[in-house]
Amino acid sequence: MSVEPEVPIVQVEEVRENPVLYKIISSDNHVFTISEHAVKLSKTLWDLITNLGLTAENALDNPIPVENVNGKNMETIVQFCERHKYDEEEPEYTNYIREFVLPEWDRQLLSIDNEELFQLILATNYLDIQKLMDYCCRVIGDMAKDKTPEELRIIYGIPTDAEDDALERSASDSPGPSG
Amino acid sequence: MHNFFRKLSIRARSPPAPKKKSSANNMLKKNSSGLLRFIRNNDKPDEEPTFDMPMHLMIQVIDRMPFFEQIRQSRVCKEIKEHIEEKYSKIKKLELRKRDINEACASDDAFERHSKAYVAVKIEKDTACVVIDDAWVVADFYVFLGILEVLREGVETVEMDAPIAELIVIYMSDISLERWYAFQCILKAFNDVYEDLHLDSGFIADRDTFWPKCSDIVIHATKAQAAALGRILDYGVKSGYVFDRRTMDHLRLEFEDLEGFDEDKAINKQIYYFR
């Protein structure tokens, strides 16, 4: 676990109350520092940290490589986690709240083009950050609101049921590894 | 002001019909191949790129949409449809009201109103409340009954107003909703002349139970709505098609403005028919 940072370390908001910091390395070798409270928002990262046995003493010496997330997305994610690290834990999502309004700070953070937003939602899903996932889904949901189901299928590459059936049929008709 | 005139008129205008899709869109519907994606993306290259969204993420996105949008998007594919069906089969309590939709929505922010029909819905945990405007029209019936179709499967407790009970029975009968609405207009126009007007229909063929798991039904009525209860018998729908007698524990009728049974013989007669 001795990956040398190739680019300058991206410093996030300084943590005064909690001195424990962790280093994360993105897939394109950007290094990020994140506080303990913030990293706890990601179930994947926190599980990794606990499984690796990282402590306050050795955390900064052992950067955590995250292969599936690039630097740009990781920067957004770190910013989000630092911003929301002291938020009260929200209950598990149940039903749509009609009057939900994305907070201004988060709205600006997620004001990115569709391709980046899509990559961000994949990264968020991988890192298992419930709140960011919720926000990203709502932003995408708002974008999809005026679309017809046919348009959604095209935008998000969802095959029609007929195409699905045809794929299944062709998969079952094609000879398997043995024959 | 628009709603005011709507209420005055018994020939309230239906919502505009959905616009017909162009033939190019129909082609896209049938085939979402790369070539067609390319053609489409050429129209709006920056706005609508094509992603290969994993289905479990697409479902999370759909889950966070408004209720009516979720129902509309359940047509996207089989997986989403099944997810929506499974999700709403967990609704156990249903409250169905006929009242002023503007007042209902103003009194509770949680109501989500349909964009065209005068119908609103509120869903909290395992309870759904659906309100239809008291000046309802046929288009409202279709939206309202469409919502009930989505929510009916797992329902165990239903509270509803008497006119809605009649609407549900009509929906299950051989009488078209348009014809019944015309009948309602006649009743409204000639109520004082023909006190006891009925629209008869033959018995309907065997069909599935509308609320197969329902164990408690409460019907709220006023004196003015008692005739709706009396007419339920006319439409040829057996009670077994609405609920399953084996699962039914309570069927309660509550009059909001009736002191006792002896005071109004006309109402007693309607209740007798209903029973």
Determine, for residues B77 and A134 on separate chains, whether the beta-carbon distance falls below 8 Å.
Answer: no
Q: Which of A36-50, A84-98, B4-18, B54-68 has the lowest mean pLDDT?
A: B4-18
User: What share of chain A has pLDDT > 90, as a percent?
Assistant: 41
The answer to whether residue A8 is domain-embedded is no
Determine, for residues A157 and B29 on separate chains, whether the beta-carbon distance falls below 8 Å.
Answer: no
Q: State the best of B30, B60, B129 to mutate against chain A, taking most chain A CBs within 10 Å.
A: B60
Closest chain A residue to the Cα of B128, Cα to Cα: A95
Q: Does residue B103 register a pLDDT over 50?
A: yes
Please give the pLDDT value at position B104.
92
The answer to whether residue A48 is domain-embedded is yes
Selection from A17-21, A112-116, B161-165 with the highest mean pLDDT: B161-165
A117 Cα to chain B: minimum distance (Å): 11
Q: Does residue B143 register a pLDDT over 70?
A: yes
Q: State the best of A92, A120, A147, A150 to mutate against chain B, taking most chain B CBs within 10 Å.
A: A150
State the Cα–Cα distance between residues B17 and B194, nearest whole angstrom: 35
Q: Does residue B14 register a pLDDT over 60?
A: no
Q: Does B87 touch chain A (CB under 8 A)?
A: no
Residue A1's pLDDT band (boundaries 50, 70, 90)?
A: very low
| Mean pLDDT score, B76-94 | 91
| Mean pLDDT score, B187-214 | 77
User: What share of chain B has pLDDT > 90, as a percent?
Assistant: 34
Q: Does residue B239 register a pLDDT over 90?
A: no
Please give the pLDDT value at position A129.
95
Please give the pLDDT value at position B87.
92
| Mean pLDDT score, B172-192 | 84
The answer to whether residue A4 is domain-embedded is no
Determine, for residues A163 and B31 on separate chains, whether the beta-carbon distance falls below 8 Å.
Answer: yes
Closest chain A residue to the Cα of B60, Cα to Cα: A137
Determine, for residues B60 and A113 on separate chains, whether the beta-carbon distance falls below 8 Å.
Answer: no
State the Cα–Cα distance between residues A142 and A138, nearest whole angstrom: 6
The answer to whether residue A74 is domain-embedded is yes
Q: Which of A150-159, A167-176, B243-252 has the lowest mean pLDDT?
A: A167-176
Q: Does B24 touch chain A (CB under 8 A)?
A: no
Q: Does B104 touch chain A (CB under 8 A)?
A: no
- Residue B30 CA, chain-centre distance (Å), reads 31
Q: Which DSSP helix (H) or strand (E) runs through A130?
A: helix A130-144
The answer to whether residue A10 is domain-embedded is no
A·B CB contacts under 8 A: 114
- Please name the residues in contact with B95: beta carbons below 8 A apart, sequence gap of 6 or more: B127, B128, B129, B130, B158, B159, B160
Please give the pLDDT value at position A153.
82
**B222 half-sphere exposure, CB direction, 13 A CA radius:** 4
B233 Cα to chain A: minimum distance (Å): 38
Q: Does B102 touch chain A (CB under 8 A)?
A: no
The answer to whether residue A12 is domain-embedded is no
The residue among B69 and A59 whose pLDDT is bigger is B69
Residues of B in contact with A99 (CB under 8 A): 109
Q: Which of A36-40, A146-150, B149-153, B169-173 has the lowest mean pLDDT?
A: A146-150
Q: Which of A17-21, A58-62, B199-203 has the lowest mean pLDDT?
A: A17-21
The residue among A32 and B31 whose pLDDT is bigger is A32
Q: Which of A109-113, A124-128, A169-173, B95-99 has the lowest mean pLDDT?
A: A169-173
Residue A179's pLDDT band (boundaries 50, 70, 90)?
A: very low
* Cβ(B132)–Cβ(B98) below 8 Å: yes
Taking all residues of chain B, what is their mean pLDDT, rounded to a whole number?
78
Residue A26's pLDDT band (boundaries 50, 70, 90)?
A: very high
Q: Residue A138 is part of a domain; what is its CATH number?
A: 3.30.710.10
State the Cα–Cα distance between residues B197 and B189, nearest whole angstrom: 12
Residue B161's pLDDT band (boundaries 50, 70, 90)?
A: very high
Owning domain of residue A71:
21-168
Q: Which of A109-113, B33-37, B100-104, B240-244 has the lowest mean pLDDT?
A: B33-37
Q: Does B235 touch chain A (CB under 8 A)?
A: no
ipTM, 2 dp:
0.76
Please give the pLDDT value at position B98.
94
The residue among A30 and B19 whose pLDDT is bigger is A30
Residue A125's pLDDT band (boundaries 50, 70, 90)?
A: very high
Residues of B in contact with A164 (CB under 8 A): 77-78
Residues of B in contact with A131 (CB under 8 A): none
Residues of B in contact with A98 (CB under 8 A): 66, 109-112
Per-residue pLDDT tens over the stretch B15-26: 444 444 444 443
Q: Does residue B6 register a pLDDT over 60?
A: no
| Mean pLDDT score, A117-135 | 93
The secondary structure of residue B117, as a DSSP letter, is: S
- Please name the residues in contact with B57: beta carbons below 8 A apart, sequence gap of 6 or more: A121, A122, A125, A137
Please give the pLDDT value at position A56.
78
A176 Cα to chain B: minimum distance (Å): 26
Determine, for residues B75 and A140 on separate chains, whether the beta-carbon distance falls below 8 Å.
Answer: no
Listed by number, the residues of chain B in 26-45 with a beta carbon closer than 8 Å to a beta carbon of chain A are 28-32, 36-37, 40
Residues of A in contact with B125 (CB under 8 A): 94-95
Determine, for residues A152 and B73 on separate chains, whether the beta-carbon distance falls below 8 Å.
Answer: yes
Region of B18 (left: φ > 0; alpha: ψ -120 to 50; beta: rest) is: beta
Selection from A69-78, A141-150, B179-188, B236-245 with the highest mean pLDDT: A69-78
The answer to whether residue A2 is domain-embedded is no
The secondary structure of residue A10, as a DSSP letter, is: B
Q: Does residue B31 register a pLDDT over 80?
A: no
Q: Which DSSP helix (H) or strand (E) runs through A44?
A: helix A43-52
Query: How many domains does one find in chain A?
Result: 1
